[in-house]
Structure 1
Amino acid sequence: MCGFLTFFSKEVIDKEKIDALNEIKETMKYRGPDSSKYFAGENIYMGFNRLSIIDFNSGSQPMTYHNNNYTIVFNGEIYNYKELRESLIQLGYDFNTNSEAEVLLACYCHYGSSFVKLLRGMFAFVIWNGVTQSIFGARDTFGIKPFYYLEKEEGLYCSSEVKCLKLCLEKTDINFKGLHNYFTFQYVPEPETIFCRINILPPGHTIKKSLNGNIEIEKYASIILNPSAGNEDIKIKNIVNALMDSVETHMVSDAPVATFLSGGIDSTIIASLAREINPDIKSFTVGFEREGYSEIDLAKETADALEIENINKTITIEEFINELPNIVSYMDVPLADPSAIPLYFISKEASNHVKVALSGEGSDELFGGYNIYNEPNSLQMFNYIPNFIKNILLSLSRIMPEGIKGKSFIERGVTPLEQRFIGNAKVFKEKEKIKLIHNYDPSYNFIDITAPLYKEVSHLDEVSKMQYIDLNTWLRGDILAKADKMSMANSLEVRVPFLDYKVLKAASILGVDDKVKNNTTKYLLRQAFKEKIPPSAVNRKKLGFPVPIRLWLKNEMYTWARDIINTKCPEEYINKAFALELLEKHRKGYVDYSRRIWSILIFILWYEIHSENDVRAYIPEPVHNHELPMAIKALI
């Protein structure tokens, strides 16, 4: 993995501007500690920090091609680059390196911008065309790699991280719509970010701009679900073949490759298939000291059954609190998923041994792995209740106190899917956001995010609709964002074999019973690998690096959380009194408010860290130095 910063200017770029951009580029040095270089022309600057994975010696970037007419900065991996390279050689192209970047440049020269449809992998890149004085960029279909951009009067900036673009603005304003959505989703849904003017290129899209032209953003690929009937054995065969091929492809590297291993089926499948290719592969696991919040024993049991080494770490609450400001700083944007913390620690441990790790992200969204996908079945009884009775039940549920058994069940049962399901996280209800957010604006409706997506899949069953929402919101806005940021914070490349076009093809045709059946999630995926993985993992329920914040916010972290809210809360945005009220209610055990409180705490920490607009505040400490950056020491 790597990090890039580019600037396409209408005016000639002077040395002072280049020096400033180089300094900003260094704020994400951890994304690529192996080398840091830049290319500059009259109207173009391209900076790059490289983590060397393929072609250590000659794959340096920015890379120029064809008499310096074309230059690229590229973050990611192209898993079919060798096949593309061979086809280009047959067409008469010569290559000076074994790198993916040179193949991308040659593809661009031969096929033009349409070459992105040929790519198998995870990527975000920018190509400078010196002949036409234009730039062309793209992001992969799933959104595995980030691509942020900022347009100003002076030109177009593109980057792997938000903080770089923020530092290119004289003043940064909080995106109020993004703030409202953050407290609903626990992240800011794409293509917006928490900052006004800074956006993210949607997955499966390209971006183009000529010297005097406007930005052109176009879709070149999308995720399509087409559930259909078919022979179960054939579907199973397709799943197995697709995943075997994907894991083998994702293990191609000039650097050592390891695998994350939790107690669940997804990472077990990846580890099992990876072991067939490399019997000496290492696996990594983390857990917490709290009983019920550690998968270490389960992972060790799986590793022993697979006969692979397992390296594990138990995270103490002291480590958790001490590293949290660092984690929030590296996250770059407010993202309140507690599992980002164990992901940071497992990446940190793995980076002491390898440069590349395989992970199981994407399986739940593709194969129906979330327990909430069982909801349409559990709520079937409401399909037979007349609407006027549903309205009465809804009114009754609204006056029931929070935490009363049955309240949530009734509310969900009488609310249409399109209004109740917005993805795997729905943190604050609107009536709570009115109390929480100063200057609350009811026009910022979270349903506006999901309504267009529901329209695209109006013909599908409810489980497939839920998957489609998650694939286009939760997966890219939360799961993949935290995986990229937490692994890159530790200079580790994380690869996700489930998010591959061949696996998507096998998963996209699965029907409801292939995904959720007999109260079991990922039914056909489990059937496909029940003979290939340890029996204990086949029907194990999803855990996914659980974090004991519910318990900690009642006890060990209560005083810390109260002090953070009392002393650091930005009251121009957040109602401090309401935040403290939630914390007190949670401590007394009335209702589990931990996710709501956590989203508030993460926003407060993020705002405190990122409210400065000084490049020096973002120069990271060395990855393995636990001394916190100066800008965030005050938070502890």
Structure 2
Amino acid sequence: MCGIYGSTILYNESEVTSKLKRTSFRGPDKLDFKYVNDKVVFGHNRLAIVDLDKRSNQPFTYKNIHIVFNGEIFNFKTLREDLIKLGFEFHTTSDTEVVCAAYLAYKEDCVRHFNGMFAFVIYDTETNTFFGARDRLGQKPFYYYHNGKDFEFASQISSIQLYNSNLTISEKSIGNYLAWGNIPDPNSIFNEVKKLKAGYTFKFSLNTGDFSTNQYWDIDYLGNNKFKGSYNEAVNELDDLLTDATSIRMFADVPVGVFLSGGIDSSLIAALAAKSSSNKIKTFSVKFDEKGFDESIYAKKVATHLQTEHHEIHCNSDEGIDLIHNFSKYYDEPFADSSAIPSMLLSKHTRKHVTVALSGDAGDENYIGYSRYQNNFGKRLFKLPLPLRSITGQALSTLPNYKMNVVGKALKLKDVETYYLNSLIGIDHDWFDKNSDVFDFPERKYLFHDKKDIYERMSNFDLKTYLNWDINTKVDRASMAFSLEARSPIMDYRAVEFANSLPSNFKMENGNQKRILKDILFKYVPEAYFNRPKAGFTMPFSEWFRDNLKDYVLEELSPSELKNIPLINQTEVTKRIQQHMDGSWNRYPLIWKLLVLKQWLNTNGKNYSIK
């Protein structure tokens, strides 16, 4: 796990060093860069995980190619043996060298051989081209700037931002951020900087300046490949798949642990890690003082059962506030998932014990796990004819009752798919001015079709959007802020493809969500431990914003300060902040979203125009 950088704009050594130092937290073990043929500069911040020897430092050269690589190839040992049979020689025990040899052996198809999380760029001096890729699920970030001639890339946008005077802030991206709480791929906060989409490769010709991308992987969202076996056969096959996915992610030349919240997904990964290891595994959970937010007792029960070396990380408001003030240093474009703060706290303290941590991310997206998938209001609502719903909705919209207004707006929506999209950003979104269609992105195709039932389509849509845009961004920045590598076995593409082939009732039956994951987990941990409602990984922001942080919120989001935030309806926002403070409505997600955007604009807004 590292930070990568490269450019055909030949910044001087001091400038390149500054760009790498800006994200040195991603890889504190070695900062290095080199100029190649007076055409290219490649840079790297290394977090040493596999083959700790300096021989595996990057930028790395193998025959006629140079590489900077971020991430891990978990099947690199098997792939290495295959390449040896083809005549390739290796002088390290790293996966970086395997990526190089695989490129020479398979060219652009090399990515299809990789099971991992990665973002890399190869400079092929024979063809004078860049070839790069991002992993299938988008676990590792990749930003790039291309002006038709020059090309610059980095793991985080701030490295590109330094010394680049040709950037403008995207008004469209601000609008999307206000809607989604993040900036959907392939866009970024700057008009001129893009993100390589998950499951894509790219090529850039230094001779012509031409840039092109190609999708090498996608889920089978139309349901063409269906599992033919029984439920019990599916349970056993998935158990084997996830066991292997966990086992190969435990390989490292540094200590490895497991994030354990006590929920279904993290408990399953902890159980499989314990099963795969001959040593006692280390587990880590967060403990809050506030009642209703602390679930550490459940994690401790699972840890005791699995006989792990368990660590409870106590979170208080003072430490949380410190991370809030420094949030934009690590999340260097606006990002509003408030669970980033406990994720950072968990990573900060976990790093004191291990360098790699396994997580249970992607269980909800792959196995119909979110509570919003069981919205009975939405299911009943759209059985009614649209004309009837519209008339009723119009009547409710005129009532003074706020909740009835929201229901009225929902009633007037076209169909259940449109209702689902709107529910994700909030049915009541009159507080911001949509400067463009915030639902205008190609990922709509995963939701708007009739080849799968609505639960599968919502799940697939979230896998391609929420998981990539939000969850993976959150986990990457939170863990890398403290030089910790996070790995998710449930995101092994083999397991994702298998889950996607299963019928809905294997994942949810009679309201029992994540059915198949639970039946695997209950082989290893008693079912009674999980007889409680599902809980998200959240912080007590709702209380903090009315208590410890009330003065901070009211000062930062005063009417005069709100004037500096574009695309919002100041009157409506002020009303919602007051609703939160008087306890009539929980508005902490909106407050946090605005605080994050304002913090970023305070740092960057004066240097760039908004277009």
The two structures have a TM-score, normalised by structure 1, of 0.89
- Is residue 329–residue 606 contact of structure 1 (8 Å, CA) maintained in 2? no
- TM-superposed CA distance for 1:472, in Å, is 1.3
Give yes or no for the alignment of 1:325 onto 2:325.
yes
Of residues 323-332 and 424-433 in structure 1, the stretch that sits farther from structure 2 once superposed is: 424-433
Note closer, same or farther for the CA distance 1:132–1:229 as it changes in structure 2 (3 Å cut): closer
Q: 1:334 corresponds to which residue?
A: 334
Query: What amino acid is aligned across from residue 240 of structure 1 in structure 2?
Result: D
Give runs of aligned pairs for residues 135-534 of structure 1, distance below 5 A: 135-152=130-147, 155-211=150-206, 212-225=208-221, 226=223, 230-278=229-277, 279-375=279-375, 379-401=378-400, 403-404=402-403, 407-408=406-407, 411=410, 415-422=414-421, 425-427=424-426, 429-434=428-433, 441=435, 444-449=436-441, 452-454=444-446, 457-534=449-526
CA distance in 2, matches of 1:228, 1:401: 51
> Aligned to 1:579, which of 573, 577, 580?
573
Question: Which sits farther off after the overlay, 21-30 or 516-525?
Answer: 516-525
Query: Is the Cα–Cα contact under 8 Å of residues 265 and 537 in structure 1 kept in the other structure?
Result: no
Gaps of 5+ in 1: 435-439, 615-636
Deviation at 1:26, TM superposition (A): 1.1
1:81 aligned onto 2:68:
no
- Deviation per CA, 1:51-93: give whole Å up to 9, x if none: 0000001311111011xx2110000000111111111111111
Does the 8 Å CA contact 1:418/1:451 hold for their aligned counterparts?
Answer: no
* Secondary structure in 1 matching 2:107: helix
SS in 1 for 2:186: coil
- Residues 251-308 of structure 1 deviation map (CA, whole Å, 9 limit, x = unaligned): 1111110000102110000001111223411111113211011121111111111111
| Whole-angstrom CA distance in 1 between matches of 2:476 and 2:313 | 21
Moved more, 577-586 or 140-149: 577-586
**8 Å Cα contact 1:295/1:545 also seen in 2:** no
The alpha-carbon distance between structure 1 residues 517 and 397, as it changes in their structure 2 partners (threshold 3 A), is farther
1:428–1:288 CA distance, 2 compared to 1 (3 A) = farther
For residues 533 and 613 of structure 1, do their structure 2 counterparts lie closer, same or farther at Cα, with a shift above 3 Å needed? farther
Q: Percent of counterpart pairs with the same letter?
A: 31
Paired with 2:198 and 2:386, the residues of 1 have a C-alpha distance of: 39
* Contact 1:265/1:540 (<8 A) preserved: no
Q: Deviations over 1:319-350 (max 9, x none)?
A: 21122122232111111111000000000001
Pairwise CA RMSD: 2.3
Instruction: Decide whether aligned partners of structure 1 residues 401 and 72 sit closer, same or farther in structure 2, where only a CA change above 3 A counts.
Output: farther
Q: 1:105 aligns to what SS in structure 2?
A: helix
Give the secondary structure class of the aligned counterpart of 1:404.
helix
Alignment of 1:102-121 (within 5 A): 102-121=97-116
- Assess if the C-alpha contact under 8 Å between 1:424 and 1:470 holds in 2: no
**3-state SS of paired residue (2:440):** helix
Change (3 A) 1:509 1:515: same
2:123 is matched with which residue: 119, 128, 140? Answer: 128
Distance 2:396 2:414 in 1: 11
2:57 is aligned to 60
Gaps of 5+ in 2: none
CA shift in 2, pair 1:85/1:182, >3 Å: same
The separation in 1 between residues aligned to 2:489 and 2:310, in whole angstroms, is: 20
The 8 Å contact of residues 447 and 457 in structure 2, kept in 1 or not, is answered as: no
AA at the equivalent of 2:199 = G
Distance 2:411 2:231 in 1: 32
Distance 2:235 2:552 in 1: 50
- Cα–Cα, structure 1 residues 393 and 220, in superposed 2: closer, same or farther, change >3 Å? same
Deviation string for 1:203-257 (max 9, x for gaps)? 1101111111410111111122436675111111122111111100111111110
Secondary structure, counterpart of 2:310 in structure 1: strand
Alpha-carbon separation, structure 1, partners of 2:233 and 2:405: 41
Counterpart contact for 2:397–2:409, Cα < 8 Å: no
Deviation of 1:523 after TM superposition, in Å, equals 1.6
CA distance in 2, matches of 1:538, 1:60: 45
Comparing 273-282 and 92-101, the one that deviates more: 273-282
| Partner SS state of residue 218, structure 1 | strand
Q: Secondary structure at the match of 1:498?
A: helix
Q: Distance in 2 between matches of 1:452 and 1:383?
A: 19
In 2, distance between residues paired with 1:7 and 1:312?
Answer: 43
